């Protein structure tokens, strides 16, 4: 019986590593997001998530960890009520890509570099605050929760997104099986630490409850039907800057990719697609 042991690497929260390697720009994140183009049936998570919010007139909205602007772009559309938008991210490279890829016909939101643990805003400043797939990267999650509470106006809402503990399990299973075959200990594989294990749909409410009185959870499950190996390898390769540093001596990234590709191709040949379960969701906090 194979036992998969997922460890939590400090690199997932180390600020210099995140801003100079993992998220020096938007390349890795965009590669990771692209795998969801294979969701069947197709559901746009960004739209699904923000549709849970009630929008006050002329609301002030802050997107913390805005990345390359998925949510800001959606909220900037002419069909959306007039909003005052600000985006902050730990990575200046992310913000540079956001600016360069922005539609010049639409006003660019105010942007700045900031850490969720120390937000440079006054108390009671925003009607809506977003923290989407962010908090598992924060060293002190409870401190960040209190910062998000501090800047939120009375009656405002914090929208937080994260993944469930079994999200994309089939992808991790493939790579763990490969590592089992590459290491002397075939019973235990140390592959991909589940970063969302630090802040998941299963444990997120208890962490947020240190700062918020009311928390509502909404889940979205689905399936990816991937017809070729390339999108899976691109997804894994987007995390190479972090994962490669945790590998055992003598195990190379190239070997892992090659052996994993073979396993995935075998499943595609047998079933027509490589099928992967998804489980993500949001917390609405006030």
CATH code of residue 120: 3.40.50.150
Q: How many CB atoms lie within 10 A of CB 6?
A: 15
Task: Give, in order, the Cα–Cα distances in Å from 62 to each of 73, 92, 120, 127, 159.
Answer: 13, 17, 12, 8, 10
Q: Which segments within 116-228 are labelled E, that is strand?
A: 126-132, 152-163, 188-189, 215-226
- The residues with which 159 forms a beta bridge, in sequence order, are 130, 284
- The residues with which 219 forms a beta bridge, in sequence order, are 281
pLDDT at 188: 45
pLDDT at 3: 46
pLDDT at 74: 95
Helix (H) or strand (E) holding 259: helix 253-271
Question: Which mean pLDDT values do the consecutive 10-residue runs of the chain (286 residues) have?
Answer: 52 93 96 96 96 93 98 87 93 98 95 98 98 97 98 97 95 86 57 72 97 98 97 94 81 92 97 97 98
- Pairing, β 215-226 against β 274-285: antiparallel
Q: How many domains does the chain have?
A: 1
Cα 255 to Cα 261: distance, rounded to the nearest angstrom: 10
Q: Which two tokens stand for residue 96?
A: 């540079």
Q: Domain residues for 115?
A: 3-285
- For 153, phi and psi rounded to 5 degrees? -70, 160
SS3 label, residue 217 = strand
pLDDT at 182: 78
Nearest to 226 by CA among 281, 267, 169: 267
SS3 label, residue 136 = helix
pLDDT at 194: 61
- Cβ proximity of 275 and 264 under 8 Å: no
pLDDT at 85: 97
pTM: 0.93
């Amino acid at each position: 019986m194979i036992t998969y042991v997922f460890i939590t690497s400090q690199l997932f929260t180390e600020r210099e590593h995140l801003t100079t390697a993992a998220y020096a720009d938007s390349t890795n994140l965009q590669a990771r997001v692209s795998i969801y183009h294979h969701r069947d049936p197709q559901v746009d998570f960004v739209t699904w998530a923000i549709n849970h919010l009630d929008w006050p007139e002329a609301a002030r909205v802050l997107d913390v960890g805005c990345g390359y602007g998925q949510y800001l772009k959606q909220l900037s559309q002419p069909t959306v009520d007039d909003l005052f938008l600000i985006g902050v991210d730990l990575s200046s490279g992310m913000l540079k890509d956001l600016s360069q890829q922005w539609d010049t016909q639409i006003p660019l939101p105010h942007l700045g570099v900031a850490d969720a643990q120390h937000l440079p805003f006054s108390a009671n400043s925003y009607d809506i605050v977003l923290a989407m797939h962010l908090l598992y990267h924060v060293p002190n999650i409870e401190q960040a929760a209190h910062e998000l509470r501090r800047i939120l106006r009375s009656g405002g809402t914090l929208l937080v997104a994260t993944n469930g503990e079994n999200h994309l399990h089939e992808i991790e299973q493939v790579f763990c099986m490969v590592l089992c075959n590459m290491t002397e200990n075939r019973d235990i594989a140390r592959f991909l630490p589940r970063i969302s294990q630090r802040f998941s749909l299963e444990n997120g409410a208890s962490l947020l409850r240190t700062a918020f009185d009311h928390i509502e959870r909404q889940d979205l499950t689905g399936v990816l039907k991937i017809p070729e190996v390339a999108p899976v390898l691109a997804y894994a390769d987007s995390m190479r800057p972090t994962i490669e540093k945790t590998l055992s001596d003598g195990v190379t990234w190239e070997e892992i990719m090659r052996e994993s590709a073979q396993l995935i191709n075998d499943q595609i040949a047998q079933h027509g697609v490589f099928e992967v379960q998804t489980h993500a969701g949001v917390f609405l906090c006030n």
